[in-house]
Structure 1
Amino acid sequence: MTFGSVSFGTERAAGSGDSTDDWEARLGEQVRTLRLDAGLDQVSCASLADVGLSSLKNLENGRGTSLRTLVKVLRALNAVDWLETLAPSPTISPLDVLRRAPATPRRRVYRPRAES
């Protein structure tokens, strides 16, 4: 999946064994790419997002940050769609699918009874 020029790495299989540090580094690279595509330096982006410069640098360098900082920076970069890909709203309720499915009669396996 791609947003702007940022690839979300869907070419890797889910649960491919990447460590938390690897994921933080990849997310940081993607945020940096979004910021550069928007033509912002780190100081301007941090100010626009209302986060500290060190928080933005930590985020981009994959050194850990808060979810709040990530959300603020992505909102400042007009990347709310990016957030939606992380946690999409469910469009189909599994219970509704079951309720709408045609009722199928139960099938049973009969075994001959043992003679007494």
Structure 2
Amino acid sequence: MNWYALSDLAILRELGSSLRQVRLNRNQSQQAVADAAGIDRATLSQIEHGRPTSLLTFVQLLRTLEQLELLDALMTRAEISPLVMARMAKKQRRNAYPPTSNTPPPPPPAEW
């Protein structure tokens, strides 16, 4: 589906319709899902018809319908390019050396 071609309200209608289909596939009534999600049945009906809702309510519905894995698509992970990883590997210390006599001792802690 080309989400960019849809208006915001059309996207809400599609999401509401999808939630409704999941609920029906699970053979659950609006009242049962609404009670389990902690929302009013009328609120669930409005969401299923594409009315705006809060993100919290949407997450509560996804949890109730056991569809939280749909949120995985929203998560992004920072990826490090192979070149950056190679540079970082070069800079890592590989050995520990004993202090030399030329190394000055660390300064004493400051007394406040």
After TM superposition, the score normalised by the length of structure 2 is 0.69
1:69 aligned residue: 57
Deviation at residue 58 of structure 1 after TM alignment: 1.3
Corresponding position: 1:28 with 2:29: no
For 2:28 and 2:43, the matched residues in 1 are separated by 16
For 2:32 and 2:76, the matched residues in 1 are separated by 31
Query: Does the aligned pair in 2 maintain the 1:49–1:76 contact within 8 Å?
Result: yes
| AA at the equivalent of 2:45 | K
| AA at the equivalent of 2:33 | C
Runs of 4+ in 1 over 6 A off after TM superposition: none
1:100 aligned residue: 85
Secondary structure of the residue aligned to 1:15 is helix
* Larger radius of gyration between Structure 1 and Structure 2: 2
Query: Does the aligned pair in 2 maintain the 1:55–1:69 contact within 8 Å?
Result: no
2:25 aligned residue: 37
Output one character per residue of 1:55-100: Cα deviation in whole Å (capped at 9) or x when no partner: 1111100011111111001100000111222x1241x52xx21513
| AA at the equivalent of 1:99 | V
| AA at the equivalent of 1:51 | I
